[in-house]
A and B are shown apart, each in its own frame.
Chain A
Amino acid sequence: MATLKELSAREELFSGGHRLCAGCGIPPIMRLLLRSAGAPVVATTATGCLEVGTTIYPYTSWRISWIHSAFENSAATISGIESAYRSLKKKGKIAADKDIKFLALGGDGGTYDIGFQALSGALERGHDFLYVCYDNGAYMNTGIQRSSATPLGSATTTSPAGSAHPGKGQWRKDLTRIVVAHNIPYAAQASPHNWRDLAKKAEKAFNTEGPTFLNVVSPCPLGWYSKPELSIETAKLAVDTCYWPLYEVEDGILKVNYKPREKKPIEEWLKLQGRFKHLFKEENRWLLEETQKRIDSEWERLLEMDGKRVF
């Protein structure tokens, strides 16, 4: 495992000058990902903040081979690229000992919802690639519409909080679990605040043959109505409250990578974000309690499976 000093000696493959918001959680994830590959990377990105913010023509932040995808097909695009690579290798047009890594990226909208079918197909076909979802919990790029990753009670422009509804009425989809059910060799959840854990997982995923998946929580000052300087702190609290547990499933065995010494109440994470402001009103108290109950039960379920075979 590389130290920060060693990581900083590697080339910066994600340049500044992109148009992502101040305090955005996505770039630290990308910078670390690209440094952890250990080989040249070819990447594609589903429509979303990352794609739009980094490739406003005629500029690109990517110092790797990068190709645009539509909203729904980043996993299909990477499948095609990886297949072409295998074919060219077979024909001897790419040297047999050449190692290239393939990376598909998408936000929660492009992964949980719109790109889900393409992702499921690519996982089933067994392409050799890593899919990374940066989960900021809504369609932030188009103006904060709810997605299936949006937490219960969160106010978005399509699930506004008011007298009729207290924000989004449904619990979020557990995509990591759904991906794990594809029986792929490696899937994990990570967070940018824990760079060591994230880099380790990225390294492991890049070096595993076959489809691999990382789901990374990505704070969004714009859509979470949180302070830009608190982005990393907010990611940390998502993990310390067990809203976003850090775990991995390697060859079917689940491992919880981080157990907080003191599990913090969910309010501590929620109160940093304006999208949950209405939950602290007396009439919405029940939603806070429901959220805490659900998190407790999910965390318990995860601890029960720790070290066990899950498929």
Chain B
Amino acid sequence: MKKDCEEKKEVPLGGVIHKAGNAHDYVTGGWRKLRPVLDKDKCTNCLICWVMCPDSAVIAEDGKMVGFDLEHCKGCGICAMECPDKVKAITMEEEEA
């Protein structure tokens, strides 16, 4: 009981979260059934996959698509679908159990 009270005191007034964007510490990669795989040779770095990703899980560095943040990717497959027809650099592959 005493422990419960002490724990409650640790919650800041108003339930304020002081660390902006700390959801990044929460891993959602475990939701994934399909994993996006990039063929770097085909990729033209158009960044369509980057802008359309719901989980901020396509990593762009210096204007180039460099890979996926698999800690957060939920495997929705939007990146592979939206990769332009002439490029198709991303394939969705079954996650190993």
Which residues does A use to contact B, with CB under 8 Å? 4-5, 7-9, 12-28, 31-32, 54-55, 57-64, 192-193, 195, 221, 228-233
- A59 and B76 contact, CB distance less than 8 A: no
Interface centre among A5, A8, A17 (most CB of B within 10 A): A17
- B56 and A16 contact, CB distance less than 8 A: yes
1/0 per residue, CB under 8 A from A, across B52-90: the answer is 111111001011000001011111111011100000000
Collect the chain A residues with CB atoms within 8 Å of residue B54's CB. Answer: 20, 22-28, 231
- B81 and A229 contact, CB distance less than 8 A: yes
Q: How far is the CA of A44 from the CA of B24 in the complex (A)?
A: 20
Closest CB in chain B relative to A200 CB, distance in Å: 14
Q: A32-B51, A59-B23, A60-B22 are in contact. Are A14 and B56 (CB under 8 A)?
A: yes
Q: How far is the CA of A223 from the CA of B81 in the complex (A)?
A: 20
Cβ-based interface call for B48 (8 A): yes
- B76 and A228 contact, CB distance less than 8 A: yes
Of the candidates A8, A15, A62, the one whose C-beta lies within 8 Å of that of B47 is A8
- B56 and A12 contact, CB distance less than 8 A: yes
- B20 and A63 contact, CB distance less than 8 A: yes
Closest CB in chain B relative to A174 CB, distance in Å: 27
Q: How far is the CA of A16 from the CA of B25 in the complex (A)?
A: 9
Q: How far is the CA of A147 from the CA of B56 in the complex (A)?
A: 29
Q: A4-B48, A15-B21, A22-B74 are in contact. Are A59 and B81 (CB under 8 A)?
A: no
Q: A4-B50, A28-B53 are in contact. Are A17 and B27 (CB under 8 A)?
A: yes
Query: 8 new A-B pairs (CB below 8 Å) besides A15-B56, A22-B31?
Result: A4-B47, A7-B51, A17-B71, A21-B74, A229-B76, A229-B77, A229-B78, A232-B82
Q: For the complex, would chain B's binding face be called helix, strand, loop or mixed by DSSP majority?
A: loop
Residue of B nearest to A6 (CB): B63
Collect the chain B residues with CB atoms within 8 Å of residue A16's CB. Answer: 23-24, 28, 55-57, 69, 71-73
- A17 and B23 contact, CB distance less than 8 A: yes
Interface bin, chain B: 35 or more
Collect the chain A residues with CB atoms within 8 Å of residue B28's CB. Answer: 16-19
- A232 and B52 contact, CB distance less than 8 A: yes
Which residues does B use to contact A, with CB under 8 Å? 11, 15, 17, 19-28, 31-32, 46-48, 50-57, 60, 62-63, 69, 71-78, 80-82, 92
Of the candidates B15, B50, B55, B73, the one whose C-beta lies within 8 Å of that of A27 is B55
Q: A4-B51, A28-B51 are in contact. Are A58 and B69 (CB under 8 A)?
A: no
Collect the chain A residues with CB atoms within 8 Å of residue B24's CB. Answer: 15-17, 61
Collect the chain B residues with CB atoms within 8 Å of residue A60's CB. Answer: 17, 19-23
A-B contact pairs, 9 of them (CB 8 A): A4-B50, A8-B63, A13-B21, A15-B24, A16-B69, A16-B71, A22-B76, A229-B77, A232-B82
Of the candidates A12, A18, A19, A58, the one whose C-beta lies within 8 Å of that of B17 is A58
Q: A62-B20, A64-B20 are in contact. Are A8 and B76 (CB under 8 A)?
A: no
Of the candidates B15, B23, B76, the one whose C-beta lies within 8 Å of that of A23 is B76
Closest CB in chain A relative to B64 CB, distance in Å: 9
Collect the chain A residues with CB atoms within 8 Å of residue B32's CB. Answer: 22
- B78 and A8 contact, CB distance less than 8 A: no
